[in-house]
Amino acid sequence: MDISVGSASPLVDKTGVIGVIDDEWDIVQLYRDALLASGFSVYAFTNPLIALEHFRVNRNSYVLIISDLRMPGMDGIELIKQIKAINPNIRALLITAFEVEDSVFHQYKKGNLIDYILQKPITMKNLVTEVENQVKIQQVQRTKMKLPRSYKS
């Protein structure tokens, strides 16, 4: 299986950590390997409770969480809620094989819970491209937070 997807954008700062959480190990490995091949630092988990604990300890290292929707023990929505309670600036990408209504997504988007939803099946190129988009957005937001008030729009 070829996972060499390359980087669509060399201007993305890839120093932050990305967390990948899915209850299926083969999916976690596939996503992790594609992101590692694109230069990202990745921690991968099949247990959302362990992922949450790792995030608590390393909250300032993470820039993005990628989570499956349905997992045993804790679903992706609840995991992201708890992570955002610890660090509301983290970006969250939800991946699901199930149809998600636009109104449901907009409700989560409006509440700053989910930043983007990817529908399975997804290509690794699409995953890497969306991860780069989310990391860029997070970097812009972080830069705005550091600007003096007079420079903010």
Quick: pLDDT tens for 14-33: 888 999 999 999 999 999 99
Q: Which helix or strand (DSSP H or E) is residue 43 part of? A: strand 41-45
Confidence tier at 6 by pLDDT (50, 70, 90) = very low
96-124 average pLDDT score: 75
Question: Whose CA is closest to 76, among 92, 99, 100?
Answer: 92
What global pTM score does this model have?
0.82
| Residue 68 · residue 21 · CB < 8 Å | yes
Structure token digits, residue 140: 């812009």
25-50 average pLDDT score: 96
